[in-house]
Amino acid sequence: MRAVVFFLLLAPPAVAQSLEATRTLRAQNILTEDDIRIGATETTGALSDPSEAVGLEVRATIYAGRPIRPEDLAPAAVVERNQLVPLEFRIGGLTITAQGRALARAGAGQTIRALNLDSRTVVTGRVSPDGQILVGSTH
């Protein structure tokens, strides 16, 4: 029993290694498995699981060898700034649709502001996976 305790005390502590960029990653690039690697050191706040990063979009340039943090990534954009987008407002059985112009770039599930082209008012809504903006609190 003493031998087991002795060997456990000698074992190095387990270290969760961090993800880092294999090359310079420019903003708006979608991460692939070739863009990341498990680094040799642990960085506080950095991602450690490749599945958390692959398929997401880089928000700002990440240089080769630098750790990848959650705030460096976002869902891939489905709506571009100034893009014409359908707006939809639903409440109960009533659905109102209109044409809008996106005021920012956003991915599915993100909140975005858009200009309603009919009324010239700015509305806020959530981007659906097909690029439609769902306006109102019922979505």
Q: 24 vs 5, which has greater pLDDT?
A: 24
Q: What is the pLDDT of residues 51-90, one digit of tens each?
A: 999 999 999 999 999 999 999 998 899 999 999 999 999 8
| pLDDT of 5 above 60 | no
Please, which pLDDT band fits residue 10 given cuts at 50, 70 and 90?
low
Structural domains for the chain: 15-74 (3.90.1210.10), 77-135 (2.30.30.760)
Give dist(CA 51, CA 96) in Å, integer: 38
Average pLDDT over residues 132-138: 82
* 3 state SS of 131: coil
| pTM: predicted TM-score of the whole model, two decimal places | 0.66
Give dist(CA 93, CA 43) in Å, integer: 51
The confidence score (pLDDT) of residue 31 equals 94
Q: What is the pLDDT of residues 91-125, one digit of tens each?
A: 888 999 999 999 999 999 999 999 999 999 999 99
